[in-house]
Amino acid sequence: MSLLTNPIFLSAALSILLAQIIKAVLAILKRRKLQAKEIASIVLWKTGGMPSSHAALVVSLSASIAFIEGFNSLFILSLFLGLIVIRDALGVRRSAGLQAQALNLLGKHVAEHLDIPFAPVKEIHGHRWQEVLVGCLLGLAVSTLVCWRFIFHAASSSM
């Protein structure tokens, strides 16, 4: 089976791509005026926001492994690594982003007061639980559709 016909790969790739496209559409609806460069940046690089592409990816991966391979060791591995990724998206990355925002605000204020240059730190955007939940549901839906089509196609081909 080639990579482009592998339902596990297709589920994961489609889930993360759809999550990023949804982020771009929501940004367009929210801000109305976005340049093509900004839209491409959202689709290709942006982290944080609705829905969580991290959650969509890991849930799609675990679910598609369960559908295709069953509840074996590979599924257990993907499940626990997925839980770590989701926990990180909710906790560590979100906290780091909030701390970076606070540091940038403080640094800007001090730099203005002392009349010195200030280079802000990168603000990592984690996720709220709602963003993670929608990402999980998206990943489950995509993997269900892709794997159902794969299983149905394989069953009809063998008849």
Q: If you count them, how many residues does the chain have? A: 159
In a domain, 75, yes or no: yes
8 Å CB contact between 88 and 124: no
Query: How many domains are contained in the chain?
Result: 1
Q: Which helix (H) or strand (E) holds 71?
A: none
- Reduced to 3 states, what is the DSSP secondary structure of residue 132? helix
In a domain, 102, yes or no: no
In a domain, 101, yes or no: no
pLDDT in the model for residue 55: 95
In a domain, 20, yes or no: yes
Asked whether residue 122 carries a pLDDT value surpassing 70, the answer given is yes
To the nearest 5 percent, what fractions of the chain are helix, strand and coil? 80, 0, 20
Asked whether residue 43 carries a pLDDT value surpassing 70, the answer given is no
CA distance 2 to 18: 22
Asked whether residue 54 carries a pLDDT value surpassing 80, the answer given is yes
In a domain, 114, yes or no: no
Asked whether residue 91 carries a pLDDT value surpassing 90, the answer given is no
In a domain, 98, yes or no: no
In a domain, 104, yes or no: no
| Residues of the domain holding 135 | 3-91+128-157
In a domain, 119, yes or no: no
From the list 150, 80, 45, the residue with the least C-alpha distance to 158 is 150
